[in-house]
């Protein structure tokens, strides 16, 4: 993750939490009071964002000492130590919630992503995220997806062309939308089209698009779509896919499975900070 982006993002998170100071800590402690604390895992998880959590403390006070005990991507057990910090108690407590929020969020996403990736690890398919992310946290959340073994879809609307149902409806047809995109977009961008039925799959193939998003299709329809378009475009299945139907979806032969739940529904991992 870009260091400049990371520093500026963390500053904004700290400003949000400290806009009116920390009335509780300021009332109890003096600037000369020093101490230490540890981050402890209270649930099994895939480690993600411990160094980011450490950077929260270092951003608030560069004099805080941080020691990480787990690299991103490592399987963590209950009771494992993730991070140890020491320095002014006031600053440890002021940075605690921001650091924990980020670490818990990213570990949760990495852990959920890993469960999806492991479910189809023996099949030639990629598990991919979406833009259904928390505003302001997209880069962090997409980083956690990669830590969990997944892959990233578009980071923004300008990353690639994705002609969706509303584009098609407003343009009149897939063909009309693709024609206008080709006249406007740089040749370096791939063109992806969303298809809701087999007739749209065939129209997308006829237009020579690079990727076809097979949206909310049944397993039977996915099989038919793969028979029609395999080898002519990258095929992405999306919509209504969960751990129960993931493997069946992957076995249809699609190339990519995109899952919004990786970021919008991942439960936060249970991690606590304990003063020493």
Q: Are residues 230 and 199 in the same domain?
A: yes
Domain count, the chain: 2
Tell me what the mean pLDDT of segment 242-251 comes to: 98
Active site residue 190: no
**Which one is catalytic: 81, 119, 138, 164?**
164
In CATH, what number is assigned to the domain containing residue 126?
3.20.20.70
* pLDDT value at 142 more than 80: yes
**Which one is catalytic: 22, 215, 236, 255?**
215
- What is the pLDDT at residue 2? 84
Q: How many CB atoms lie within 10 A of CB 123?
A: 15
Q: Are residues 95 and 157 in the same domain?
A: no
Residues 205-240: pLDDT tens digits?
999 999 999 999 999 999 999 999 999 999 999 999
* pLDDT value at 184 more than 90: yes
Q: CB within 8 A of 192, min separation 6: which ones?
A: 160, 161, 162, 163, 209, 210, 211, 212, 213, 236
Contact 222, 117 (CB under 8 A): no
Active site residue 132: yes
Q: How many CB atoms lie within 10 A of CB 250?
A: 24
Active site residue 230: no
* pLDDT value at 53 more than 80: yes
Tell me what the mean pLDDT of segment 167-179 comes to: 97
- What is the pLDDT at residue 194? 98
Residues 89-130: pLDDT tens digits?
999 999 999 999 999 999 999 999 999 999 999 999 999 999
Q: Are residues 133 and 205 in the same domain?
A: yes
**Which one is catalytic: 119, 132, 139, 154?**
132
Q: Are residues 28 and 101 in the same domain?
A: yes
Residues 23-46: pLDDT tens digits?
999 999 999 999 999 999 999 999
Q: CB within 8 A of 260, min separation 6: which ones?
A: 129, 130, 132
* pLDDT value at 1 more than 80: no
Q: Show the domain range for 225.
A: 120-264
Active site residue 194: yes
Q: Are residues 66 and 199 in the same domain?
A: no
Rounded Cα distance, 50 and 206, in Å: 48
Q: Are residues 61 and 124 in the same domain?
A: no
């Amino acid at each position: 993750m870009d260091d400049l982006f990371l520093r500026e993002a963390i500053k904004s998170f700290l400003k949000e939490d400290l806009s009116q100071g920390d009335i509780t800590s300021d009332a109890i402690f003096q600037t000369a009071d020093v101490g230490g604390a540890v981050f402890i895992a209270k649930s099994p998880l895939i480690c993600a964002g411990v160094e980011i959590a450490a950077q929260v403390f270092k951003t608030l006070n560069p004099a805080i000492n941080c020691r990480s005990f787990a690299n991103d991507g490592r399987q963590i057990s209950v009771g494992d130590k993730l991070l140890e910090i020491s320095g002014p108690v006031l600053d440890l407590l002021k940075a605690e919630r921001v650091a924990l929020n980020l670490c818990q969020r990213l570990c949760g996403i990495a852990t959920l992503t890993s469960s999806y990736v492991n479910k189809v690890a023996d099949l030639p398919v990629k598990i991919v995220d979406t833009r259904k992310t928390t505003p302001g946290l997209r880069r962090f959340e997409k980083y956690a997806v990669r830590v969990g073994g997944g892959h990233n879809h578009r980071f923004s609307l300008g990353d690639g062309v994705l002609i969706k149902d509303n584009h098609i409806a407003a343009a009149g047809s897939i063909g009309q939308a693709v024609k206008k995109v080709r006249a406007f977009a740089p040749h370096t961008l791939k063109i992806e089209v969303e298809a809701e039925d087999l007739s749209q799959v065939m129209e997308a193939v006829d237009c020579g698009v690079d990727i076809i998003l097979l949206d909310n299709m049944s397993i039977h329809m996915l099989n038919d779509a793969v028979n029609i378009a395999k080898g002519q475009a990258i095929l992405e299945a999306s919509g209504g896919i969960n751990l129960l139907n993931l493997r069946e979806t992957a076995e249809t032969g699609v190339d990519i499975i995109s899952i919004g739940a990786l970021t919008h529904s991942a439960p936060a991992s249970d991690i606590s900070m304990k003063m020493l």
